[in-house]
Structure 1
Amino acid sequence: MQLLPQSFSIPHPGRETWSRLEADFAGGRTVIRRQHMDYPLHITRGFYMDRAVPDLLTLYLQSASGGLYAGDRLHLNIAVRSGASLSLTSQSSTVVHHGREDGSIMHQMLDVGIGAFCSFVNDPYILFPGAHLAVKTIASVADDAVLLLIDGFTVHDPVGEGRSFSRFETTLRVVRPDGKLLVVDNGCLAGKELRPAGGALGGRKAAATLTLIAPPERLPSISVLERTVAAQGCLAGASRAPNGAGLVMRILGEDAGSLVRGMEAAFHVAGAAAKGLELARRRR
């Protein structure tokens, strides 16, 4: 008789999933033309929150699992077609569990068409002890389109023993539809770099990056953007992106709460400049 191990004793190789979302402009507003969401990702029904900007569709991206696990490879493709306006945000932060030997990877591909607006704002990833997450983003943005990306993380040890995550990596590559390279932004931070007094985050526990790709006339004032985020208790510094592509800002928060408030403030300043009107609050 051959004895087989019970299913729960077999190491799980992790998930590889493929999700796609396509927004189009039709009937005077933005609609979802196509969608395919693989587990664990899920989207809510669409909301039109902005009376002053009735064409802007808001979607909440949710996770049906307990977070990101070792070996997870999640692919998310987003296309915003010509003239459409999409605001995609997360319902809450995503927990990133111990990466073991494989880590977790989030692949994001964005295609923003002529005259389109795409905002993709994730609540900070919560990096548990041993977490190893890589967020890899490739974006194609038309000359007169707008792409607003905000991604960040916060550190958390549930048992309070001072343990930290393993690594957090980000890669961003922005091109024009013809392949012309605009921006490359790569970063990598090891958890051990936070431990010395005044470490990589200056003793803080949360950080985020805002990337705004837009024509010059649709960019906010850097000084206003920095002051607005700083008023939320964050440190913030912005500069122009290369090739006249837009601007980039780094944000540091004392904790997840202050970082989220800073990210939300940055979204509203950047969104108002890009759309020409104040945007409504995105409630969680």
Structure 2
Amino acid sequence: MRRGMALREIAHIGREAPELAAYQQEPPQMASGSPGKCGYLRLDFARRSRRSVLAHMERRAPSLVQRALYWDEAMPHMPCVFMISTSGCLLQGDRQALDIYMAAGACGHVTTQAATKIHAMSHNYAAQCQHITLEEESYLELMPDPVIPHDNSRFFSTTQIAIHPTATLLYGEIVTSGRKYHAADGGFNFDLYSSSVTASTSDGAELFSERYLLTPKTQPLNNVGVMGEFSVFGNLVLLTPARHHAAILQQSQPIYDAAAGIASGASLLPNQCGVIFKALGYEAHQVKSAMRAFWQVARQEITGASLMPAFLWR
């Protein structure tokens, strides 16, 4: 059984990141990474007879999950888990870590209870660290709801993936411009959003690495060649065996429709490890719809199952 991340490890997330050098001052309230500000989730999925189960769960407040549900009628053997934050948002000095382990042959769907709101900050930053391990023939959909960075917020995220060549991971990320309809915010008024994703094989050979650093106050994002008039960015990483790549790309044609407010496209990742899909939209629901369309194509090709209709409230 693997050990969870120590409190000290979580508290130090982002401490050495150069882009956060100007934001290391401690909050005047609780210090960064203090108990209650240092959330941790560990989710281990395993195969049991004809279905998969959430075999082990470890949590540390404010992170929480409830029991796994089997609501996906297209894949009734797949446990679906909602990640919950009892704090309701991310504040300055908050740290959180997620550790997901997929045993051989296991499958699972992990999402959040709602959008992740990153509140305004005067000191420090909020950060998360994610470790995802997939063993032979396992399958994971990690599809959280959008991130909403409020004005003057700073967020640092790092995701490390170790995947067996026969496994599949679908990992999504949606970032909005902020509260663009809020008079005091207006969108693109956060200080910093830093996200990196690195994937390697089970034996440590690197597959791909992607990092983007958004600092709209010094490098505007609403310029031509960046996001232009769009307000929401979606990134969907699909790591899956090479035999699926051509069929998925063939059914995922690039789109640019300014009137409808959506632009999207897919391309191959290096080392024949998968496909990456990106979307821009005026509103979050447009990007989510584009990502669901790609998700449907990928799931149908890889598992033979369709997506359930989206919940009315999502």
**Normalised TM-score (structure 2):** 0.81
Secondary structure in structure 2 of the residue aligned to 1:67: coil
1:57 aligns with 2:84: no
1:278 aligns with 2:306: yes
2: distance between equivalents of 1:260 and 1:129? Answer: 23
| Residue among 147, 157, 163 paired with 1:125 | 147
Q: Quick one: structure 1 residues 161 and 99, their matched pair in 2 at CA, closer, same or farther if it must change by over 3 Å?
A: closer
**1:257 Cα deviation from its structure 2 partner:** 2.2
Greater Cα shift, 12-21 or 135-144 = 12-21
**1:10 Cα deviation from its structure 2 partner:** 5.1
For 1:159, the equivalent position in structure 2 comes to 183
Q: Quick one: structure 1 residues 216 and 201, their matched pair in 2 at CA, closer, same or farther if it must change by over 3 Å?
A: same
2: distance between equivalents of 1:204 and 1:232? Answer: 11
- CA deviations 1:60-119 (Å, max 9, x no partner) are 222221311111110110001100011111221010112434211111100111000011
1:84 aligns with 2:112: no
1: distance between equivalents of 2:167 and 2:53? Answer: 18
Secondary structure in structure 2 of the residue aligned to 1:37: strand
Q: Quick one: structure 1 residues 110 and 103, their matched pair in 2 at CA, closer, same or farther if it must change by over 3 Å?
A: same
Secondary structure in structure 1 of the residue aligned to 2:252: helix
CA RMSD of aligned residues (A): 2.3
1:11 aligns with 2:19: no
**1:165 Cα deviation from its structure 2 partner:** 0.7
Which structure 1 residue ranges, 4+ long, deviate > 6 Å from structure 2? 228-232
For 1:234, the equivalent position in structure 2 comes to 262
Secondary structure in structure 2 of the residue aligned to 1:46: coil
1: distance between equivalents of 2:210 and 2:221? Answer: 25
For 1:181, the equivalent position in structure 2 comes to 206
- Contact kept, 8 Å, 1:232 with 1:261, in 2: the verdict is no
Unpaired runs of 5+ residues, structure 1, are 1-8
| Residue among 254, 266, 271 paired with 2:282 | 254
Q: Quick one: structure 1 residues 207 and 106, their matched pair in 2 at CA, closer, same or farther if it must change by over 3 Å?
A: same
Q: Quick one: structure 1 residues 202 and 49, their matched pair in 2 at CA, closer, same or farther if it must change by over 3 Å?
A: same
- Contact kept, 8 Å, 2:127 with 2:155, in 1: the verdict is yes
For 1:5, the equivalent position in structure 2 comes to none
2: distance between equivalents of 1:59 and 1:269? Answer: 22
Q: Quick one: structure 1 residues 161 and 149, their matched pair in 2 at CA, closer, same or farther if it must change by over 3 Å?
A: closer
> Match of 1:127, as an amino acid?
P
- CA deviations 1:120-165 (Å, max 9, x no partner) are 0111100100111112100111010001100121122333453611
- Contact kept, 8 Å, 2:42 with 2:59, in 1: the verdict is yes
Secondary structure in structure 2 of the residue aligned to 1:191: coil
> Match of 1:264, as an amino acid?
R
> Match of 1:84, as an amino acid?
A
Q: Quick one: structure 1 residues 273 and 44, their matched pair in 2 at CA, closer, same or farther if it must change by over 3 Å?
A: farther
Q: Quick one: structure 1 residues 160 and 196, their matched pair in 2 at CA, closer, same or farther if it must change by over 3 Å?
A: same
Q: Quick one: structure 1 residues 121 and 206, their matched pair in 2 at CA, closer, same or farther if it must change by over 3 Å?
A: same
2: distance between equivalents of 1:225 and 1:132? Answer: 33
> Match of 2:141, as an amino acid?
S
2: distance between equivalents of 1:207 and 1:120? Answer: 17
**1:262 Cα deviation from its structure 2 partner:** 2.2
2: distance between equivalents of 1:64 and 1:229? Answer: 39
Secondary structure in structure 2 of the residue aligned to 1:260: helix
**Normalised TM-score (structure 1):** 0.89
2: distance between equivalents of 1:178 and 1:229? Answer: 40
Secondary structure in structure 1 of the residue aligned to 2:129: strand
Secondary structure in structure 1 of the residue aligned to 2:251: helix
1: distance between equivalents of 2:88 and 2:58? Answer: 21
Unpaired runs of 5+ residues, structure 2, are 1-26
Q: Quick one: structure 1 residues 202 and 281, their matched pair in 2 at CA, closer, same or farther if it must change by over 3 Å?
A: same
